[in-house]
Structure 1
Amino acid sequence: MTSRTGESESPQAPPREQWSGQLGFLMAAIGSAIGLGNIWRFPGVAYTNGGGAFVVPYVIALLAAGLPILLLDYALGHRFRGSTPAVFRRMSSKLEWLGWFQGFICFVIMTYYAVVVAWSLCYMFFSFTIAWGDDAAGFFQRYIGMDRLGSEVGYSPAVVVGVAIPLLFVWAFGLVVTALGVSDGVERANRIFLPLLVLMFAALVVRALMLPGAGEGLNALFTPKWSALLDYKVWMAALGQIFLSLSVGFGVMLTYASYLQRRRSNLVGTGLVAGFANSSFELLAGIGVFATLGFMANAQNTSVDKLENIAGPSLSFITFPTVISQMPGGALFGVLFFASFAMAGLTSFISIIQVVSAGFGEKLGLSPRTASLVVSIPAAVLSFILFATSSGLPDLDVVDAFINNIGVVASAIIMCVVVAWVLRRTRLLQDHLNAVSESRMVGLWWRVFVGGIVPVLLGYMFFQTLWSYMIQGYDTYPNGFVMVFGWGMLLLVALATAIMTLVPWKTPVDEFEPLELEVTAEEED
């Protein structure tokens, strides 16, 4: 039996979904890459790591690590055509666990990612009336229920209704879109939301540049502190930012590439466009954010470096609302900002769900609709229990730090080492990239980065972070709290990985015939 993709499959295997075309895949890939971190993380990271000088390590990190791993994800997904567990099992029967490890990392990420999107949706409506008034910090504390916590940080089971209601909408949206499938659901959502996101955010940046003091804000962001280039932490910060913002190393781009047509999918060209589009949006976000912060500093008769809360959730939900309440036409600015923020989050959110849904669907022989239900319902329940409560923000902070800084980085290191040194498949994947792309520009340089430079850089960052968390804990949180929500979440991911690896496949995952390429290469000896 032959599927619509042209791949020979056994009668039990359902036809594999695919994008309607190259543009649909590209928009989905860019939509996944452009997310919450572009808007609230990049400006703060750049500012605190050398300002304009940060662009140097940022661009180098993009070229030396971000794009090589993005192309590796593309090559793996397109060559072995499956979800993360299917791809790694097809490479070696002993590697299926790595695919499930990436899948359950995504499972945890989507449980708290949805909550931040829910916050932004509420703030979009709050902006119409500037509901926070002159006390943005106090309003945010009350909105997410943190005012009910005592002096000692700990888990609170009290659900915050104002967070739970929009969270229901976010999960319903994610479930419906992924249940509709790749072409009718994920691709269509990105075709609608991505252009709207770019248009609205561009309008927001133009408005920000017209504010009094905007120039001072841009000077604060782009004035280079060249001495920062001698600090290894600045280079590690650039590497971390590129890695997280491109959505590489934990299954998203691998899964998306598996839905491309088998031949002439131009993986290299698409990867370059997606990578530079993501970084361009980050730069645009930095301009808009710091132009706005310049206005805030000007209104308070101070300098930008004296402002607080210019990174992370505080930037979006405390600093920006403060600016909005002070500026002319603030309500419209607020609606544009939080609508853009929500759209960026939603496009990334559905890509994360798709990774997990695809894995469960292939392993258990489920349709896209059933797989979405099987994945989304338990994830939504966990999302409400952990992050829609009064302790939601500290819960989220700790889980996010451990899952991203340890889980995602470990996943990427293992993937590079296994592909390059254990299975020795980099030459095969290099030829695959060149054979299905319009240009044959992937060569020895790519194999050197994937097998050498990237795992060394990530390994250094990983062990620095691991040592810090083990010796110093995380931030100022109590050790018991960090043990439960940090180390405990990693342990749950490991247990879930082991369980799903042992579950028998309902589809013939091993009956796989790779595409015969115009240029082929034997696996290296």
Structure 2
Amino acid sequence: MANATTQTTKREAFGSRNVFILSAIGSAVGLGNIWRFPYVAYEGGGGAFLIPYLCALLTAGIPLLFFDYAIGHRFRGSAPLAFRRMHRVAEPLGWWQVLICVVIATYYAVIIAWAAMYTWFSAQLTWGEGKEEDFFFNEFLQMGNVAKTGVSTQFVPQVGLPLIGVWLIVIIIMALGVKRGIGRANTVLMPLLTVMFAVLVVQSLFLPGAVDGLNAFFTPNWKALADPAVWASAYGHIFFSLSVAFGIMVTYSSYLKRKTDLTGSGLVVAFANSGFEILAGIGVFSALGFMAQAQGTDVAGVATDGIGLAFIAFPTIVSQATGGSIIGVLFFGALVFAGITSLISVLEVVVAALQDKLGWGRVRTTLTVSIPVALISIAMFSTTTALAVLDTTDAFINAFGIMAVALVAVIVVAWLLHKLPVLREHLNRRSSFRIGWFWMLLVGALAPVVLGYLFVNAVIAKVTTPYEGYPDWFLAIFGWGMVIALVVLAILLSLLPWSRRSHAKDDPEYDEFLIEEDYMPDAETGTVRVPGYTSKGAQP
């Protein structure tokens, strides 16, 4: 026992609360904020969508963010270790989240590589005016048809080479550790991202037709509020936007100092993320308004989201606008920075879990995790059928990975383990913004209902209609088969023994934390609880 204790390494930590906040915002602010939220808001009733969006943020997003913070900070570990310390039966939840992050990391990196190449292309308008769509699918991706050719192994250099570069940068950041790598990267990249996007928004506002785009984005369609699908869309977007429920915030909060204001930090992160989304909506729809005017159509005729917005619509805007190259460099550069800050948070979930499980050092664990994930990423997403694999994997991992593990986690923690009172007390002892029974109601009752509704709808949609018309064998491998395999592997990983050098056993830092937790004043009464004693004396 003593030997194991002396070999345990001290857990890494963020340099300060501000660095943690920047890192958490960096994780939350990703590609979805830029290319998904504006269109979701537009389709959901424009200005009227802000009502369900704010309701979702206040009743689901922020409460679940606090939920993740409390688990990671209270139990001082990566997702698997934190859930294990909560209760042995909960450990598979942590590994499920880890495996989800492995999958996300493999395809998220290639989108960053695309954005990096398009940053370069923007300076030269490489795609040629009027040929943006053909350039992206045929010349850049060299896209093949999985129904005809199966999964291709044909390497596409203009995708694969920048993808290798992305992985080298991310691996270096990860190997430097939480404080010197992740913390410093976010301290540099987040301010740069904010400045770049602010400049982009200002420039977009002065484009001809920008007002038409803003009118389309903000004009409220009050009838949309009567549509349950709009509310479901708002809640679904918030779950993914704030990086809750798949291990990131659990892991990041475990690196916080013991007396950090958790709920105050969470509110800053949540509202900063939402502020960036509104800013993105203004910039994107100003540009789409210009595009609509230039093409002699309305905004509805050019509005789109996701890959279509980023790699077809925006290059079209860049080609047609005065000073378009600057707009392109700013837009795609912002995608690169937002993507990198999110990717390192996703990968940190995996690195932290294996570091805790095996008791290895930072560099060894980073290389053991990152190199295989990078090789899989390059092999799968540098080919002519990469887009089909990415599209299917992303759709299924969101619906049956993130959403499913969030649903199971809140049910297990709230109803099977009855840990919400413990988590609430921990949050209140260390935070400026106090929470009460209403938070427990939101996490334990509302969240399972909403997540259950979204999950069932997703299952029905994908069972009744093959996703995007892809072949059944393809969906069985990269869709249903993948999500089932994650659950099975999570259970198997939880059965493997923890290393004697890991933080799971004989961790003096965690023991010290528990002692401090026991002797802190009660959040409600102000009295100090002494372990082993009651008001009538020592317990037997």
State the TM-score, normalizing by the size of structure 1: 0.95
Contact kept? 2:197, 2:334, Cα under 8 Å: yes
Secondary structure of the residue aligned to 2:468 is: coil
Q: C-alpha distance in 2, partners of 1:158/1:47?
A: 38
- The answer on 1:30 being equivalent to 2:25 is yes
Which residue type is aligned with residue 235 of structure 2? Answer: L
Structure 1 segment 82-161 matched on structure 2, within 5 A: 82-134=77-129, 135-149=131-145, 152=148, 154-161=150-157
Structure 2 gap ranges (5+) = 530-540
Report how far residue 282 of structure 1 moved: 0.5
Structure 1 segment 222-241 matched on structure 2, within 5 A: 222-241=218-237
Q: C-alpha distance in 2, partners of 1:463/1:150?
A: 28
- The answer on 1:295 being equivalent to 2:290 is yes
Contact kept? 2:428, 2:523, Cα under 8 Å: no
Report how far residue 520 of structure 1 moved: 6.3
Which residue type is aligned with residue 58 of structure 1? Answer: Y
Distance of aligned partners of 1:352 and 1:358 in 2 relative to their CA distance in 1, 3 Å threshold: same
Q: C-alpha distance in 2, partners of 1:163/1:454?
A: 39
Residue of 371, 382, 391 corresponding to 1:377: 371
Contact kept? 1:144, 1:389, Cα under 8 Å: no
Structure 1 segment 429-508 matched on structure 2, within 5 A: 429-439=423-433, 441-506=434-499, 507-508=502-503
Distance of aligned partners of 1:498 and 1:428 in 2 relative to their CA distance in 1, 3 Å threshold: closer
> What's the counterpart of residue 238 of structure 2?
242
**Deviation sequence 1:176-212 (CA, Å, 0-9, x none):** 1111110000000000000000000000000000000
- The answer on 1:51 being equivalent to 2:34 is no
- The root-mean-square deviation of aligned C-alpha atoms, in Å, is 1.7
Q: C-alpha distance in 2, partners of 1:451/1:498?
A: 24
Report how far residue 491 of structure 1 moved: 2.7
> What's the counterpart of residue 169 of structure 1?
165
Secondary structure of the residue aligned to 2:54 is: helix
Which residue type is aligned with residue 38 of structure 1? Answer: N
Contact kept? 1:141, 1:147, Cα under 8 Å: yes
Q: C-alpha distance in 2, partners of 1:152/1:476?
A: 13
Contact kept? 2:142, 2:156, Cα under 8 Å: no
**Deviation sequence 1:480-504 (CA, Å, 0-9, x none):** 2111111121133223323322221
Contact kept? 1:65, 1:449, Cα under 8 Å: yes
**Deviation sequence 1:254-281 (CA, Å, 0-9, x none):** 1000000012x00010000000000000
Secondary structure of the residue aligned to 2:469 is: coil
Secondary structure of the residue aligned to 1:17 is: coil
> What's the counterpart of residue 380 of structure 2?
386
> What's the counterpart of residue 534 of structure 2?
none
> What's the counterpart of residue 415 of structure 1?
409
Which residue type is aligned with residue 410 of structure 1? Answer: A
Which residue type is aligned with residue 489 of structure 1? Answer: M
> What's the counterpart of residue 195 of structure 1?
191
Q: What percent of counterpart residues are identical?
A: 47
Report how far residue 508 of structure 1 moved: 4.8
- The answer on 1:351 being equivalent to 2:337 is no
**Deviation sequence 1:16-50 (CA, Å, 0-9, x none):** 00011110100000011000000011011111111
> What's the counterpart of residue 537 of structure 2?
none
> What's the counterpart of residue 186 of structure 1?
182
- The answer on 1:218 being equivalent to 2:214 is yes
Q: C-alpha distance in 2, partners of 1:161/1:323?
A: 26
Residue of 406, 420, 430 corresponding to 1:426: 420
Report how far residue 72 of structure 1 moved: 0.4
- The answer on 1:396 being equivalent to 2:390 is yes
Q: C-alpha distance in 1, partners of 2:140/2:401?
A: 27
Count of residue pairs brought into register by the alignment: 513
> What's the counterpart of residue 253 of structure 1?
249
Report how far residue 468 of structure 1 moved: 1.6
Report how far residue 152 of structure 1 moved: 4.1
Q: C-alpha distance in 2, partners of 1:368/1:39?
A: 32
Which residue type is aligned with residue 361 of structure 2? Answer: S
- The answer on 1:317 being equivalent to 2:311 is yes
Residue of 333, 337, 358 corresponding to 1:364: 358
**Deviation sequence 1:64-110 (CA, Å, 0-9, x none):** 10000000000000000000000011011122111000000001000
Report how far residue 153 of structure 1 moved: 7.3
Contact kept? 1:324, 1:334, Cα under 8 Å: yes
Q: C-alpha distance in 2, partners of 1:499/1:16?
A: 26
Report how far residue 306 of structure 1 moved: 1.5
Report how far residue 449 of structure 1 moved: 0.4
- The answer on 1:333 being equivalent to 2:327 is yes
Secondary structure of the residue aligned to 2:462 is: helix
> What's the counterpart of residue 6 of structure 1?
none
State the TM-score, normalizing by the size of structure 2: 0.92
Structure 1 gap ranges (5+) = 3-8
Distance of aligned partners of 1:153 and 1:29 in 2 relative to their CA distance in 1, 3 Å threshold: farther
Name the larger-Rg structure: 2
> What's the counterpart of residue 77 of structure 1?
72
**Deviation sequence 1:297-329 (CA, Å, 0-9, x none):** 111111101225x10111000000001000000
Q: C-alpha distance in 2, partners of 1:83/1:399?
A: 25
